Structure 1
């Protein structure tokens, strides 16, 4: 069993057995038939993944590494808020006729701010600090910008990364206000694990621990039977992540620079209903 499988199974069991149901409450999300999309949730879930030991990708079902990386590059490297710069359709529901999702996600990372050292956006500030002051306790990003919320087609879910160096190891804390566990949990874990590897490589460091903090970790009512079947499946050993050793510039990484060795996973879960 991969460590990511163990974390996922334990988290889902805890939510299902000890979570709080929103039945009887007014909720914003709806299913495509107009029915309220209720959830069972746990508050303040914290999962830790040591990237020096294992790449945390699930084997209960396959996580699409290439698509996950493409999205994280779209946000963090391209700093884009337009779905025409993305190679999947996962953001189509939140895009306008021009393809924009508003002043959200990548847009915020690309905004330049004034510092004593000059103007930089948030990503470049992280890279600058890790090169020039790696033991700083102020290396972080935040894309939940209140003054721009009214111009965001979707408020950011994963909104903050805090980077912290211990010795020659780069660790990170991903803060997430809300997460659809079935649809997005391992997807986000894989994305930000890859991001931590990228930032570490660009900074001459080794990737260490990713701490994932989820304020509202929820399973939708129509996802419960899918989750129950999923966590009862056979599991496999984690694959090895291979990264192109020639790339050391954060902005030079491409999707094809990342490959999985010996990735074995169960059948994909298809036609998952998504609440909007």
Structure 2
């Protein structure tokens, strides 16, 4: 994961100070690429603990075409909570009563999440994130892109059209209401010598909090699609558009850069696990993950 740490250092030393949608402020660079050889280990950050459970459940959520928060929070995944909660406050005239990240805001969000878990009708109304990743992957204007690409890899591996896009301009306004327009917008698979590689284009990259998740999520996707297509894993190539560090993540970034990376873990998928569209969390095992302690940082909403 040295390439990720090099990116952090590059943004700190070369980044331009910019404003942003959240009002937090960033240091930012434009156009950056990392490559991870998945044969050398699973690229999960070791210089701080990354929540593996969230990575796996979120990817399963995408693959199944789900767009409601309920599946995630029922499985202890909190990474999407802030956006639908803030939308809920705004729509109910409560945003000024609960300033972002205040103790009252955090307490109210906890109650909001519990109601999503307990009340299916409430979840249907306020837990729905709109036509975000899962919808676009599995139903882009009626097209099941992910299933189509898997079939194409199997039947025409040399094709240059193994592409899935989440950027659907018609749906962007709806996505932005309770979630976010896609940050990881398009990915392409490539087959060579029996190995499957994938390149992701990510338009916007929260480098401290989000990018370690994105790297691991797409590396896992490569493993799952390769298994489905009876191929071995190759490279994951991560191409970033606006790669940024939020201004309230800079000290945390320096702390992370002071740490020495450890040995990468390995990934194991149970031999009797079902196919990609039915696979579950317990079918996937991470072996030998021994990270350094987590480093807390606020999410910019």
* TM norm structure 2: 0.81
Which of 25, 33, 37 is equivalent to 1:50?
Answer: 37
RMSD: 1.5
Distance 1:113 1:155, change over 3 A: closer
Name the SS for the 1:171 alignment partner: strand
* Aligned twin of 1:167: 193
Gaps of 5+ in 2: 89-124
Contact 2:138–2:147 (Cα < 8 Å) also in 1: no
1:66 CA drift (Å): 1.9
Which of 152, 173, 178 is equivalent to 1:150?
Answer: 173
- For 2:126 and 2:8, locate their aligned partners in 1 and report how far apart those are by CA, in whole Å: 38
Contact 1:234–1:266 (Cα < 8 Å) also in 2: no
1:79 CA drift (Å): 0.6
Which of 98, 123, 140 is equivalent to 2:126?
Answer: 98
1:207 CA drift (Å): 1.0
Name the SS for the 1:124 alignment partner: helix
* Aligned twin of 2:51: 64
Name the SS for the 1:228 alignment partner: helix
> In terms of mean alpha carbon deviation, does 105-114 or 141-150 score higher?
105-114
Contact 2:69–2:127 (Cα < 8 Å) also in 1: yes
Which of 1, 5, 21 is equivalent to 1:28?
Answer: 21
After superposition, the C-alpha distances for 1:73-125 in whole angstroms (9 at most, x for unaligned) are 1012x1111111222122122235431111111111221667xxxxx501110
Which of 39, 42, 60 is equivalent to 1:73?
Answer: 60
1:185 and 2:171 are equivalent in the alignment: no
- For 1:83 and 1:160, locate their aligned partners in 2 and report how far apart those are by CA, in whole Å: 22
1:131 and 2:141 are equivalent in the alignment: no
* Aligned twin of 1:33: none
* TM norm structure 1: 0.88
Contact 1:201–1:248 (Cα < 8 Å) also in 2: no
* Structure with the bigger percentage of helix: 2
Which of 228, 232, 240 is equivalent to 2:266?
Answer: 240
